[in-house]
Every structure is written in C-alpha cells, then in structure tokens.
Amino acid sequence: MTEILRKGCIVLLVIMILIVIIGSFGLFGQNFLAGLLYLIVGIVATLFYAGFLFLFLDMAEDVEYIKYKIMEIDRKNNKDKEEIKDGWKCEECGRVNHSYTGTCACGKAK
C-alpha cells in the first residue's frame, strides 16, 4: 500500500521539478535573475515538500508495522488461552499443563 504511494509521490515530485525547470527556462529569456530565483525557490520548496511526504510515508509504514506486531501478540495470546482450555491446572502450584502430560513439573500427578 505505502509502496504504491511512494512511487506515486516520486512521479509527482519529478513532474513538479520538471514544471519548475521549464518555468524557469521561460523566465530566463526575460530576466535571468528572476529565472534563477524561481528555479532555486521551486526546487527547495519541492524538496521540502518531498521531505514531509516521505516522513509521513515512513510514519505510515511504522504504524502498519506496529499494527502487525500487535496483531501477532494478540494471536499468540489467544493461542496461549486455547492451550489452557484443553490443558489442566495443577492444584499444587497452579501451573497449566498440556492435556497429554500426566505429571506437573512440580511432581504432582494429574
């Protein structure tokens, strides 16, 4: 998802830089200084905008990663609960054992 957005942003930025360059060439013919200023300001503004855009995309990717990790932890917790469900709890120490084990780690039999 963010990979598509990233590619879209790069295309957009290239178009913006091209517009700035073409625009400045138009101005160079009339006034060299104005054209140069337009070129510098345009490129700096584009790069500044690009920086924010990529920072935002990186953050979006981090959020995706965190969401994935939370889901993974949730899945693991649910798995643990399932194990408790079909296992048995030791009366002696409270440890939860698998249903196929007959003796708890503390030595108490099922």
Give the torsion through C-alpha atoms of 85, 86, 91, 94, to 10 deg.
Answer: -50
Residue 104 interacting with Zn ion (CB under 5 A) = yes
Interface segment toward Zn ion; rule CB under 5 A; list 1-9, 18-26, 39-47, 100-108? 100-108
103: helix, strand or coil: strand
Interaction pattern, residues 51-90, with Zn ion; x per rule: CB under 5 A? ---------------------------------------x
Q: How far is the CB of 108 from Zn ion (least distance, A)?
A: 5
Q: Which is nearer to Zn ion, 78 or 103 (CB)?
A: 103
Q: How far is the CB of 74 from Zn ion (least distance, A)?
A: 28
Q: Which amino acid is at 47?
A: L
Among 51, 108, 109, 110, binds Zn ion (CB under 5 A): 108
Rounded to whole angstroms, the Cα distance separating 50 from 67 reads 25
Rounded to whole angstroms, the Cα distance separating 97 from 89 reads 6
Rounded to whole angstroms, the Cα distance separating 9 from 52 reads 11
Give me the residues that bind Zn ion (CB under 5 A), please. 90, 92-93, 95, 104, 106, 108
